[in-house]
Structure 1
Amino acid sequence: MRRRTAWWRPARKWRGSTPVRARAAIVAALLLCATAALPNGPALAAGTPDPYVFAPDARPVTGGASTADAAPLAPGTTYKSSLPGDGEIHYRLDLDDTSDAYVAVTAVPASGSTLYAGDGIEVTVRDATGHSCSQDTETFGVAHSPRPIAVWGTRDISAARTRCETAGAYDVIVERVSTAESAPDTWALELFAVTEPPLKQAGETSAPETWDSATPDPLTGEGERRKGGSGFASAVPVGEGAWTSDIEPGRTLFYKVPLDWGRQLHATAELGASKSRDGYAVGALNLALYNPARGFVDDAGANYDGSEKSAELDPLPPVAYENRYARTSRLSAMRFAGSYYLVVHLSVVVAERYGDGPFELTLRVREEHSAEAGPGYAGESEPRDVFQVSESDREAAAAGGVGGGAGGGGDAALTVLAVSGLGAGTLVLVVLGVWMVVARRRVGAL
């Protein structure tokens, strides 16, 4: 609110019924300001958190019905859009002829949506001639639980590939994957575009043939409390160690792990035991890993019968530029340094058998091998430093604060928004209380 000092000038004396009318008008105005300052939305009003919190700086964009009216996306920018129940929507990326490019699409069904195992999204990238550069699909699987899922499209420039190397406009196509029973509801989308510059000097053009694929002994002991974020932009930094949090059925928690070149990640999510043993919840716990461009790497799941259960990612190679030449997508996705995202979801099915919780979640993270020098880029990524790990990133992972580099500012922005929203409403109510006391004293003195 803009402060108006004229409210507090005592020069004018009130007479008759004027103080009552004035008080009523000012009270109504202040309450209106207080309501506007508080966070809004039905989820907050009902006491239930949103299934996903979008980046505070996400720009609204509407996907086009065809390539001709595709909405432009700028690398380094986050967007908020929507996906209809049927048909495809189009976005445009204008690219040079040297950089690799990635666009991640996060789909967010509304809480309470009815989903089937085959429901999901597909992202395709095509060049100006209609040739496919990439195509990827992700579905919700057996859990049938509404949660954010992300799929990326890529434009890789490689000596082994002759397509998609020219500068110009590229078509990003997003569409639903559905079954005959699927509900035709609209899903929210968050899009994040990234470019990666070429190397100063060309290196290996094949993936490492051997790497340590043994599963290390898991970390033991009680974990440190570290509540997860509600989206990629608000992901909470963690490093090697055990981290605990409460999680309710239907919730998705986001964490990010800074990984240098040469570092190898192992992660396990554990769901604590329940006091009851009421049946069997299929696909209760899901642990997914996404790379710094929000590209899907791998996931693991666990059923739940009331006893302690865990979902553990299969061994992944150390972070290396050459991983992009691997034949399998889970290995290819471990292609750059930066913040990798661990996303944990607890299915709504758990509530049907074991109540609303909360349940205890323990995330165990282990990092192997020493950090290595990077491949040496010939330019800057967009956004800047998204494929690097800074000292502040490491400190934030150890302390649980907000890290530097790309994506780190999202945590701070969300915190500012939350504090400013609640603070403004609280301040207005305090001012209202003070005004009432002063007004009563004035009326009594007349």
Structure 2
Amino acid sequence: MGRRTVWWRVAAAVGAALYMATALPGPAVAADTPTPYSYAEDARTVEGTTSSTGAVRLTAGTTYRSSIGPGGKLYYRLDLDAATNAYVSATAVPGAGATVGSADGVRVSLQDADAHRCSYKTARFGPTRSAHPVTAWASREIGSDEYMCQGAGVYYVVVERVGPAAGAGAGPGTGSVSGSVSGSPSKGPSEEWGLELGLMSEPAVRKGGSTSAPETWNSASPQGVSGDPERRRGGSGFATASPLAQGVWQDDVGIRAGETLFYKVPVGWGQQLSATAELGSTTGGDGYVGNAFVVSLYNPVRGFVDDRTANYGGEQRSAALAPLPPVAYENRFSLDNEVSGMRFAGWYYLAVHLGTSVADRFGDEPLGLTLRVRLEGEAEAGPGYLGTSEPRGAFEVTEEDQEAAESGAAADTLDGAGDSGDEGDGGTSGGGDGSGNSTGTGDQRLAMTVVAASGIGTGSLLLLVLVVWTLVARRRASAGAEPERPRVGTAPRGRHGASRGR
């Protein structure tokens, strides 16, 4: 039965590969196309409503996926208590090839039941005029206002498309998920944009702390980080951001025009973060592109902190974030957005985007990308939270976080997406030998070879299918003629090569 099961898996792989090669018009993402945005694997799909009546409820600690059309204004409901701060973020994701202007973007506001705005922020595509994920955030903070948004009850998240192109097209979005969300081409402002929504809660702190932002801090430009770079591939979304520690990091592949790569850095209480993104030179093409690439910083609730842009003319260029204050709870009381954004410990996100117009001058080949990250100061104790955040541990840096930043543990592993399935082989993810080797057994490698062949021509694939079926038939015939028996005087061998006692 074990041998037959293996061959049925091979047969399934052959059938899947043949179907993929013959039924589909082509690969979902071409080799020279920027990787589409990666939504959180556990994101729940919800529909925004065009009225507060009937708005779906969002839960703290959960990520959601939705969409918004041109001119869209969508509502989502929150049920908040009177003690915790709430933060909501909305990442707008235009489809590949979408046409956007510098003033186009998304606005997020958090409102109470009487339509009073607790806060709101707007994120725009900016001077690159290139479609890429942009994120806006809003909050309900206890103690920030004497009269409004302080009590327990119903609140609403309102997400709007803004800018000259916001009203183009057929009308407001319904909040349904469309094909453009996954990165399929959209050529104009009439297309829907994908949305990734996040809601996080922050507990109250012990009384007696400062209620004003630090007046002084080291605002001098930090010393640059030097040394040989280590390889680290960027992710394609917040959920798949590649972890980085202090050091020099070079992207494995580089960055293509129109692509956005995400990285994240664990920053503890009292630590000061600085970062620089460098775009490599190229010998192909000529000309000059203004505001060619941008590096943006977001805090643990995906709140925008700062960004910097740089021009590109084929020579190496860099974009460095402005000096930022050490992370402190009291930073939230500052009127400076760059200071108030540095209010939590946790994962800070770096998003690097290369404008689509770079391809017009310098082609579609990826350009080298290097990041220099520095963390100043020793991590300190937190502000003394009286409860737990949602998600748990959002505003702290653990030893596991630091180890992940050093080792580059994949984001999907950190999120638990790397769990093995229930294949009946003992739950190993690496293959049939249980060793964690990703190559697996010979039979599984054969199946994977057939799957890989789906990327080539259909004629070549059919030839491979015939070869595989011939091998299957011969092995099955051999297995039927000479059943496998243990040698005389030896015990049967286990999956790891160890003898099993009787």
Q: Which category of TM-score, normalised to the shorter sequence, fits these structures?
A: 0.7 to 0.9
Aligned to 1:205: 211
Q: CA deviation at 1:311?
A: 0.6
Aligned to 1:20: none
Aligned to 1:365: 373
Count of residue pairs brought into register by the alignment: 424
**Counterparts in 2 of 1:314 and 1:96: CA distance versus 1, 3 Å:** same
Aligned to 2:182: none
Q: 2:164 aligns with which of 175, 179, 183?
A: 179
- Give the AA of the match of 1:231: G
Aligned to 2:248: 242
Question: Aligned partners of 2:67 and 2:145: how far apart in 1?
Answer: 35
Aligned to 2:305: 297
Q: TM-score, normalised by structure 1?
A: 0.86
Aligned to 2:137: 152
Question: Aligned partners of 1:36 and 1:376: how far apart in 2?
Answer: 57
Q: CA deviation at 1:409?
A: 2.9
Aligned to 1:394: 402
More strand as a share of residues: 1
Q: Could you say what secondary structure the match of 1:353 adopts? A: helix
Aligned to 1:111: 96
Q: 2:355 aligns with which of 343, 347, 350?
A: 347
Q: 1:139 aligns with which of 124, 129, 137?
A: 124
Aligned to 2:30: 46
| Aligned pairs (5 A) from 1:2-401 | 31-34=14-17, 44-47=28-31, 48-158=33-143, 160-180=145-165, 183-245=189-251, 246-276=254-284, 278-401=286-409
- The answer (yes or no) to whether the contact 2:270–2:379 under 8 Å persists in 1 is yes
Q: 1:253-298: CA deviations, max 9, x gaps?
A: 1111100000001111011111146111111111000000111111
Q: CA deviation at 1:350?
A: 1.1
Question: Aligned partners of 1:270 and 1:139: how far apart in 2?
Answer: 23
Q: CA deviation at 1:402?
A: 4.6
| Aligned pairs (5 A) from 1:405-416 | 409-410=414-415, 412-413=416-417
- The answer (yes or no) to whether the contact 2:267–2:347 under 8 Å persists in 1 is yes
Q: 1:28-70: CA deviations, max 9, x gaps?
A: 86544457899x9976452335321111111111111111121
**Counterparts in 2 of 1:442 and 1:336: CA distance versus 1, 3 Å:** closer
- Give the AA of the match of 2:164: T
Q: CA deviation at 1:200?
A: 2.4
**Counterparts in 2 of 1:34 and 1:90: CA distance versus 1, 3 Å:** same
Cα RMSD after superposing both structures: 3.3
Q: 1:126-164: CA deviations, max 9, x gaps?
A: 001211101110100111111111111111111654210
User: Do structure 1's residue 437 and structure 2's residue 443 form an aligned pair?
Assistant: no
Question: Aligned partners of 2:30 and 2:430: how far apart in 1?
Answer: 20
**Counterparts in 2 of 1:426 and 1:85: CA distance versus 1, 3 Å:** farther
Q: Which moved more, 1:123-132 or 1:212-221?
A: 212-221
Percent identity among equivalent residues? Answer: 48
Q: TM-score, normalised by structure 2?
A: 0.77
- The answer (yes or no) to whether the contact 2:286–2:313 under 8 Å persists in 1 is yes
Q: Could you say what secondary structure the match of 2:262 adopts? A: strand
- Give the AA of the match of 2:417: A
- Give the AA of the match of 1:384: R
Q: 1:384-430: CA deviations, max 9, x gaps?
A: 00001000111111221258xxx9733x5279799999998964766
Question: Aligned partners of 2:223 and 2:74: how far apart in 1?
Answer: 46
Q: 1:308-329: CA deviations, max 9, x gaps?
A: 1111111111100001110122
Q: Could you say what secondary structure the match of 1:334 adopts? A: coil
Question: Aligned partners of 1:36 and 1:339: how far apart in 2?
Answer: 42
Q: Could you say what secondary structure the match of 1:68 adopts? A: coil
Question: Aligned partners of 1:441 and 1:99: how far apart in 2?
Answer: 65
- The answer (yes or no) to whether the contact 2:29–2:35 under 8 Å persists in 1 is no
Question: Aligned partners of 1:104 and 1:208: how far apart in 2?
Answer: 26
Aligned to 1:15: none
- Give the AA of the match of 1:244: Q
Q: CA deviation at 1:244?
A: 0.7
- Give the AA of the match of 1:239: A
- The answer (yes or no) to whether the contact 2:344–2:395 under 8 Å persists in 1 is yes
Aligned to 1:13: none
Question: Aligned partners of 2:215 and 2:223: how far apart in 1?
Answer: 24
For structure 1, the 5+ residue unaligned runs are 10-22
Aligned to 1:14: none
Question: Aligned partners of 2:328 and 2:145: how far apart in 1?
Answer: 19
Question: Aligned partners of 1:422 and 1:129: how far apart in 2?
Answer: 59
Q: Could you say what secondary structure the match of 1:102 adopts? A: strand
Q: CA deviation at 1:117?
A: 0.8
Q: Could you say what secondary structure the match of 2:406 adopts? A: helix
Q: CA deviation at 1:223?
A: 1.4
- The answer (yes or no) to whether the contact 2:34–2:258 under 8 Å persists in 1 is no
Q: CA deviation at 1:225?
A: 1.0
- Give the AA of the match of 2:473: A
- The answer (yes or no) to whether the contact 1:51–1:108 under 8 Å persists in 2 is no
Q: Could you say what secondary structure the match of 2:238 adopts? A: coil
Q: 1:349-377: CA deviations, max 9, x gaps?
A: 11110111221111011111222111000
Q: Could you say what secondary structure the match of 1:73 adopts? A: coil
